[in-house]
Amino acid sequence: MYVRTDTGVKLVQEIPDDCAGFGTSFQGLASDGTSFFYSLLVTKPKPDASRCGDGGPCRWRLAGGRIVRAGGKGVPGLPPAALIAGAAGRLALVQPAATASASGREQFDWPRAALDGRVEIRDTASGRLVTSFRPHGVVRAIALSAIHAVVLVQLERTLRIEWYDSDSGEMLGSVIEPEAFRLATDGRLVAFSAGGTVRVLDLETGAQRVVGRGADVTGVSVRGHLVVWGAGNRIVAVRA
């Protein structure tokens, strides 16, 4: 993890990767408009997971985690998060799962958000809890604006985009999106990738439309009437 300073670029933390899911993992980066924050989770194996990664069973337990201000230290009062998103003066934090297991022969799903886990919206200046809500399922992506929190929720094989009031936590609407992957919102629109397309969803009317196509979408953002995404080594920008 690097940050830019007045004298150049500074390395603030190295996060070693473990292909079996153990150790410290980087879970995402977000900004509240003045600082960048990132989430770290710490995983330890259960005693019978010595052959994890070598065809044997994998069993994990969450041993801790923290939210770190880039270039600084951990932020007191903020809980560990499987996913993180930011808006002006706020962070949205998704509760991580405490344990998980896999046979060792299939692709494992760890670290991840907890089933029916809590999503907290916190004030970054004080750490104060603004509101919270619990989507039914596992949150796979999250985006935050000044007025809306948007989550992509998986329940068994169904994916839904849900949006909530970011002050009260009240659920305002949802749509089923079988292939949705990434999310971004400016509070009025949600941009997301799905099935080789980039789409926008109007949170007031529920209307959707395709604004771009491509199988290699690497990131999506939306601001005002402009949707931007990565496509291989190109940046694409179109009017929503």
Task: Specify the number of domains making up the chain.
Answer: 2
- Same domain, residue pair 161 and 188: no
Alpha-carbon distance values, 170 to 124, 173, 178 (Å)? 21, 9, 24
pLDDT score for 63: 93
- Same domain, residue pair 133 and 216: no
pLDDT score for 14: 73
- Same domain, residue pair 81 and 141: yes
In CATH, what number is assigned to the domain containing residue 120? 2.40.10.480
* pLDDT band, very low/low/confident/very high, at 54 (cuts 50, 70, 90): confident
Q: Three-state DSSP class for 158?
A: strand
pTM for this structure?
A: 0.90
Range of the domain at 53: 2-178
Contact 151, 178 (CB under 8 A): no
Do β-strands 129-133 and 90-94 pair in parallel, antiparallel, or remain unpaired? Answer: unpaired
Interacting residues of 236 by C-beta distance below 8 A, sequence separation 6+: 198, 212, 214, 228, 229, 230
Of 141, 157, 178, the position where a domain reaches its end is 178
| Chain centre to alpha carbon of residue 6 | 30
Residue 145 has pLDDT above 90, yes or no: yes
- Same domain, residue pair 171 and 189: no
Residue 17 has pLDDT above 70, yes or no: no
pLDDT score for 124: 92
- Same domain, residue pair 65 and 90: yes
- Same domain, residue pair 229 and 161: no
Residue 16 has pLDDT above 80, yes or no: no
Separation CA 27–CA 82 (nearest Å): 6
Residue 226 has pLDDT above 70, yes or no: yes
- Same domain, residue pair 72 and 174: yes
- Same domain, residue pair 94 and 199: no
Do β-strands 217-223 and 2-5 pair in parallel, antiparallel, or remain unpaired? Answer: unpaired
Of 157, 178, 199, the position where a domain reaches its end is 178
Question: What is the rounded average pLDDT of the residues 66-88?
Answer: 88
